[in-house]
Structure 1
Amino acid sequence: MPATHHPLATHLAERLRLTDENDSPLGTEDAAAFAEEFRTIYATMAEHEHRIDIVIASFASRFLPALVERYNSVPHVISPYATMMRALLDSGYFAKFMRGPWGSNLYRLQAERLAEVDVRGDTVNALDGMENAIVILVYLMVYSKHYHRNVMPPASETKTKLIPVLRSIQGIYARKLEKIHIPPGKIPSFDVRNMQAVFRNARDAELFLLDQLTIDKMLGAVGKMMPWVTCAGYDTGCWVKGKQKGRMSCGRCETQTYCSKEHQKLDWPVHKLSCFETVY
């Protein structure tokens, strides 16, 4: 039997006001509270060995179109909808969404919003929000190459405005990091790792716009594998691009692919926990 939808997915959708079209969207002022709640849910599930990916799959299969619609309607780089979008980006459900027409304008919209960021203002100092904004841009760049027929690129004038913004953000976070001493062998704190991620992703986005970085190097191994990953992590090298001929998708969710019926059958005990029919 396929999976039953997770109640936490419904809770998150209700928290984001996605279940009632008449509800007004949340704003920038709600971003920090939602991010903290989501982190708490994530940590609690990990502590009890529950799988957060089941919650993500359950949410994405039903609420992703509504989430993107709300994300598009809130004209801010930082919002609760960006926090939730960040959590879904590398799921097979988001990849399926981007293969269709529904996400065609996301990359262009994200680039336009970031191009208007006031790098002298407080927006850049909102750590969680800026990390989400930049990583969403980088993921959408990767999708734009994989699904270039569906994804609209930013206009040339947007790219021209965006590059100096990305450089300024790199400068701001480089100066933040220079002031922090991390003893040898010690793992950096969550906030420091976020700062490092903002700097790294802003740099990669700039290089990508300048045609100086390939998608194989964007987001490290994630960028190299998207969307070729198959067999749910079986250590067979199945995700390698050259072995994708004849790959087959799960007929129900269409988000997990396999190189053979044998591997699909082997993976079913795990995959069935997060196998949901999508509404898109």
Structure 2
Amino acid sequence: MSGLARRGASYKGSASRSAKELRCTRAFSLCCEPPEIREDDSRSRGILFADGRTYLGISSALPRSQKEPKMESPVHAYPSDVAFTPTVKAMQTQLGSREMYARMETQRGFGTDLTPDIEAFVEAQRSVFLATANSEGQPYIQHRGGPPGFLRVLDARTIAFADFIGNQQYITLGNLTDNAKAYLFLIDYARRRRVKIWGEARVIDDDPALIERLMPPGYKARADRAIVFTVTAWDLNCPQHIPQRFEAADVKAALDERDARIRELEEEVARLRAQH
């Protein structure tokens, strides 16, 4: 047992926990069976679930823009320190989960480079939530959407997308001017999978070629700038509590296929009846 399953199985808290709580802990470990580490993956972790499910595919990676400067970030002992601050670790100690996450830090930890599996997951999404914070620390979450492929993986540490014109409040742009720290939350409701990505983001408004390259072909939108996100760390969540929902286009395709099959069967029945 490793990863998220260990997280659930090891989180026992105090001895006063009720039997019901312990049953919930065991259930958590079952529903959150983690991805196994690929021994042959030199680009950090891959997604290979214990039940054999995996994301396959090759991303349409683009070369890194020569205009992208390196961003300074605090030195962390572990990639997960981007989220597990000393205060967070103290809270984990107080509530009984620190030992479990300490093992996670040394044995698995958060990913840093985006693996081909994660790249495929990112580029398949139609929706993403982008979190920023202003100079006062006030957080803000903005939804960004588009057709599959609107999120582009430029390389193992860079994700970019065209900034489609919307309500023109420019809260995200203002926040990034004051504070480059950002966070992407991606969720696939149909398959009940989600990925969290920490990093820094910046606005590119002086590179028309990049903006044009990031525009999804045929998509009815206009963009005056691009958002370029530099990855610091990423992690996976288990499917627990994710409601299963499906895209309208996917439902329509499935219903059209069903209806076509029904018509074929009805025609076959009519021919058989005519023969008798």
TM-score normalized by structure 1? Answer: 0.23
Q: Which is strand-richer, 1 or 2?
A: 2
Q: For CA contacts below 8 A with separation 6 or more, give which structure has more relative contact order.
A: 1
Q: Which is helix-richer, 1 or 2?
A: 1
